[in-house]
Structure 1
C-alpha cells in the first residue's frame, strides 16, 4: 500500500570526467594523459579478450544453451553474466605471458554475455521466421502460434536479412528448414569499454566526498603486463555534476570507463529517493501525442463526479529548430554513407595505387559520418530532456499525477512519404520517453504507456471517426461539437485511456507501466479553469526611429519602411512618414488641409 508522501529508490545515469589522479600507494600525482594511456591499455586487453571469446562462441549451440537458460546439470543460469559464463566454462584467452586479474576477466565475460543474450532472442525469432520464409517471393507467412509472434518492425528487419541471405546463396540450394543467426551474419565487434560494476572492491571502488567522486581502480602500467606488480591502483577524482548536488542520492555505483576524443569518460549510475505517484488515485492526467511535424503535443483530461472532462486546449512542443537540424544531419549522414559505399565498389576493381587513394577517401568519409552521428546523439539527448521538462512543468501546473504516452511498440509511421517516414522513425521519441519518465519521477508524477491506435482518429466524446475540415492537422466532431488541433485531441484521448485504465496497469521490469486495453467513456467539453494557460509571447514595442545616416555620394539611399504596429500604444501618437529619421517623441507638424483643398479646387 502506497501512503501519502512515501518515497522509493530509482536509478539514473550521468557522465563526468576526472580532474585529478594520484598513485594510491605513493600519493604521487599522475598526469591525466598518462591515465588515458593506461586506461587505453586496459580497454585494449578487454576488447581483444572479448572479441576472441565471442568468435569462439559464435555457434548455434551457444544460442541454444542461452535460449534454454540451463547449464549442463540442468540448473537455471544466474542473471549475473560473469557467474553464468563461469558455470558454463566460457572463459576468455589472453596472449601468452600476459597476466590479467580475475576481476578483469569478470568484466570481459559480463560484457560478452550481455551481447550474446541479446542476440539469442534474435536467433530464436530468426529461426521461427525462416521456417515461414519463401525465398522465391521474399515474403514471410503469418504465424500460426502465439509464441512465434514478434513486433512488426523487428520482423521487417529480419525479413531483409533473410532476403539478402537468399540472394547471396543459390535459390535452388536454399534449404526449406531453419536459418540461424550464425548463417546470416558474423560475430559482432566488442566495444572498447570497461564495466566496472561486474567487479568487486579488489578491482575498483568508488566513494563520494562532498561534491566530488573518488574512484580507485587498478590499471596496468604497460601494454602487456607480465605480473601483479605491473597492475597498480590509481585514485581518480571527479566533480559531481551541479544538477545532482543536493539530491537525495543513496548509492553511487561503479562507472563504465570509455575513451573519447576528450579522454577518459565516466558513465556513472546512482540511486536516489523520489516521491511515489499513486496511479489508483489519479484524477487529472496529461496525454502526450507524438507528432510527425514536431516531437509531441500534450493535453489534459480530468475525472470528477460528472464524469470525464477536458477543455480541449493543449500545448505543442517547440523544438527551437532542433528538428530541422536533425533532419539536415540525417540527410548529410546518408549522403556520406552512399558516397563511401560507391567508393568501396570502385576500390574493389581499381588498380593498387588508385585503391590506396580511394581507401584514404573512404576513411575520411567514415570519420565524418561518425562525427555526424555523435552530433545527432547529442541533439537527440538535448531535445528529449528539454521536451521532458516542458511536459513535466505543464503537468505540474495542471495538477496531474499521471502522464500517458503512446506505446512505441505499436506506433509505426506510415503514409507520409519515404523521407518523412524515415525521419519520424529516427526521431528522439524513445529518448524523450526515457527522459520524461526520469524528469516526472522527480516530482512524483507517474508515466504510463497506453495504446496508440485511434487516438488521433476518434472523438473523445462519442468515439466516432473525426472529420478533417481544415486538413491533416485539424479535427472536428459535428455530433459533440468539439475539435481543434489534431494532436491536442489525441492527447485528450490518451489522457482518457490512462484515467479509465488506472486500475489495470501492467508492470514489467525495465519497462514503463503499461495499460493494454483502450476503454471508452465520453469526455465532455469543460469551460472551467482546470488546466494551465499556455504561455504566449507578449507583444514588444517596436522602436521605429532610425539613426541618422549620412548618405554616400553617388549611391541611391535605400528607403526604410517602418515595421508594422506591434501594440495599441503605437496608435496613440502620429506615425512618422517613411524616411523620417526623427525619434518617436518628436512631434511633426502635419500639413494643413486647407492649401491642399484649394489646390484641388484650382485644378
Structure 2
C-alpha cells in the first residue's frame, strides 16, 4: 500500500500452538504435558465459576436489567462486561478454600455478561412469540408491527419449544403469557475456554518479535490453589503461521486458551492495515449467488455511465467433490445420532447388565459422531477459504471494487425435498460469506449483502419473470432474448442491486455493509467480454501427425497416468520444526504427571 492510499483496519483470527514453556521466575523448563495439566486446572476453575454464575442469574430479572441498560441507581451500564458485572454485583462463587486472582474473576464475569447480553434479544423475541402463540392450534399469529418480526427459522424453533412445554404442563399453565426464555430453555452450557482479552498485564502479557510470539500467563500449580504462591507465571513461546510473516499487523490481541486432542491451542486475534474500499465510487461489481448445485456462482456487471452492461457469462465454483463428501459425512453423523437415541430408549427399561453394555455402545457411537463433526469442520474451513480465494481473484481480475452476496437472513432452503434441504443447509454459507469478506478486504474490495428475493426468477433487463425452457438450471426472457445459466442470471441481478443501491448502503454494528432495498436497473447484454476467464487446468498437447510405435508382441507396456490435480488439502504446509527446543512434545516433562481433577471440586 502506498502512503497516499486510504487504509482501513481489519481484525482477523488465527491459531497456533506453543512449542516451549518455561517458568518466568526461575527459568526452569516445563514439559508440555505438565503445561496441559496446569491449563486444565485453570479451565476447570473458570468453567465451574461461570456455570455457577449463569445458573444463579438465570431469571427474568437479569434480562430485564440488561434490556433496560441501567443499574440500581439508574446509571447506564458500561460497555465492558466485567465492569457492568461489578456494578451489578454479579460475582462468581468458588469452592471453599480456593484462592483465585481477581483478574481470573474478570475473565469469568466478562464472558458471562456477554453471553447474557446476547440472550437478552432472544428473551424479548420469545416473549413476543409466546404472546401470539395459541396452545390449542399450535400456531403463532402473524406479527402486528415491524418490531415483532423475527427470522422464520428462529420462530419455528421457539414454536417447537412452546409445543413441548404445552405437552409437559396442563392447559391452564400453558395459557399464561408471555413466557420468558427462562421458562422454556435451560442455562447455556459453558465451553472450557480462558478468554484472556478481558485481562490486563497482571494476568497475561503478549510480545511478538519477527515470527515468534511469547505469551506470559499466570497458571495454578495445583488443582485447588489456596494462596498466591500457587499461581506462577509461565512464559509460552509459539511460532506465527507462515502466512502472517510480513503482514502489516498494527496490534496483537491476547489469545484464548483452550485444549483439544493435541494439547494446548492458542486462538489468537490481531488487527492489520488493509486498503480501504470505496463503495460509492465503484463502477464494477461482482454478484455471488448461493446455488443449490454448487456453493456459489459469480458474474460481472459494469456501469459505463450510459447504463449497466454485462455479458451474462459467469463463473461457477467447482468444489472438486468436497460438497459430496460433506453431504456423506452429514448423513453418517445423522445415522449415528439416531442409532444412539434408539439405544438410549432401550437402556431405560433394560436390566442392569444389558444397560451397561448399551451405555458402552452409546459411548462409542458418540465418539464416532464427534470425530465426524471434527472432520466436517476441517473440510468446511478449507472449502470456505478456497471459495473465498477464487471469488476474490475473480473480482480482482475484473477490476471490481464491490462484491454483492445474497442476504442470508432472507435465504432459506425449503420445498426442495428433505435431502436437498439438508445439503443446502450444511453448505456453511454463512462461514463462506465471512471468509469472502475477510479475503476480499486484503485487495480493497467491499462485500455488501443485498436482498435475495427474486434474483433468480426475474429478468435483469425488463425485471419480468423468466421462463425455464431447459429445466430448473436454465432461464430465458422472451422479451429481451437473454438468458442462460440460472445461477449466472441471479448473480447479474445481485450485482445490479449493489450498483443501483450503493447510495443507500448502511454499515451495521458488526461492521458489515448491507443494502436492504432492492432497486432495479435495466442491464444490457453487451457483445464485449466484461468478465475475466477463470483459470482452467491445461492439458498437454498431443501430436496427431506422428504414428505411434507398436509395442512388440508379448510385451505389456506400462501406461503413463497423469498426476491428479492438487486439492485444497495440499495448501496446508507442515508445521515448522524447532530442533533443540526444550519443552517440546518430543521431550516429556520430568516431573510426575498430576492426577486429573475433573469432578473433584464440589461447590458448597
Output the TM-score relative to the length of structure 2.
Answer: 0.89
Q: Tell me which residue corresponds to 2:544.
A: 570
Output the CA distance in 2 between the equivalents of 1:431 and 1:4: 33
Cα deviation, residue 5, structure 1: 1.4
Output the CA distance in 1 between the equivalents of 2:378 and 2:84: 35
Cα deviation, residue 167, structure 1: 1.6
Q: Tell me which residue corresponds to 1:192.
A: 192
- Structure 1, residues 408-449: CA drift from partner, whole Å, max 9, x if none? 000111221012112212221011111000000001011000
Cα deviation, residue 523, structure 1: 0.7
Output the CA distance in 1 between the equivalents of 2:266 and 2:114: 20
Cα deviation, residue 537, structure 1: 3.4
- Structure 1, residues 219-278: CA drift from partner, whole Å, max 9, x if none? 000000000011000000000100011000011000000000000000000000000011
Q: Tell me which residue corresponds to 1:482.
A: 482
The aligned runs of 1:472-511 (5 Å cut-off) are: 472-511=472-511
Cα deviation, residue 375, structure 1: 1.1
Deviates more, 1:370-379 or 1:404-413: 370-379
Output the CA distance in 2 between the equivalents of 1:532 and 1:122: 45
Number of residue pairs matched by the alignment: 556
Output the CA distance in 1 between the equivalents of 2:377 and 2:469: 38
Say if 1:31 and 1:400 are closer, same or farther in 2 by CA, change over 3 A.
Answer: same
Output the CA distance in 2 between the equivalents of 1:370 and 1:113: 29
Output the CA distance in 1 between the equivalents of 2:229 and 2:136: 62
- Structure 1, residues 43-97: CA drift from partner, whole Å, max 9, x if none? 0000011111111111111111112211111111112111111111010001111
Output the CA distance in 2 between the equivalents of 1:403 and 1:527: 23
Output the CA distance in 2 between the equivalents of 1:480 and 1:11: 45
Counterpart of 2:298 in 1: which secondary structure?
A: strand
Output the TM-score relative to the length of structure 1.
Answer: 0.89
Counterpart of 1:255 in 2: which secondary structure?
A: strand
- Greater CA radius of gyration, 1 or 2? 1
Output the CA distance in 2 between the equivalents of 1:489 and 1:576: 51
Cα deviation, residue 581, structure 1: 6.7
1:292 aligns with 2:266: no
Output the CA distance in 1 between the equivalents of 2:174 and 2:445: 54
Output the CA distance in 1 between the equivalents of 2:475 and 2:162: 42
Q: Tell me which residue corresponds to 1:264.
A: 264
Output the CA distance in 2 between the equivalents of 1:50 and 1:153: 29
Q: RMSD of the alignment, in Å? A: 1.9
Output the CA distance in 2 between the equivalents of 1:305 and 1:204: 56
Structure 2: gaps of 5 or more residues? 559-604
1:145 aligns with 2:119: no
Say if 1:582 and 1:157 are closer, same or farther in 2 by CA, change over 3 A.
Answer: closer
Cα deviation, residue 175, structure 1: 2.2
- Structure 1, residues 522-565: CA drift from partner, whole Å, max 9, x if none? 11111223321133333435xxxxxxxxxxxxxxxxxxxxxxxx
1:426 aligns with 2:438: no
Greater RCO (Cα-Cα under 8 Å, separation 6 or more): 2
Q: Tell me which residue corresponds to 1:113.
A: 113
Counterpart of 2:504 in 1: which secondary structure?
A: coil
Q: Tell me which residue corresponds to 2:399.
A: 399
Cα deviation, residue 305, structure 1: 2.7
Cα deviation, residue 572, structure 1: 5.8
Q: Tell me which residue corresponds to 2:536.
A: 536
Counterpart of 1:281 in 2: which secondary structure?
A: coil
Q: Tell me which residue corresponds to 1:442.
A: 442
Q: Tell me which residue corresponds to 1:551.
A: none
Counterpart of 2:71 in 1: which secondary structure?
A: coil
Output the CA distance in 2 between the equivalents of 1:199 and 1:374: 30
Q: Tell me which residue corresponds to 2:566.
A: none
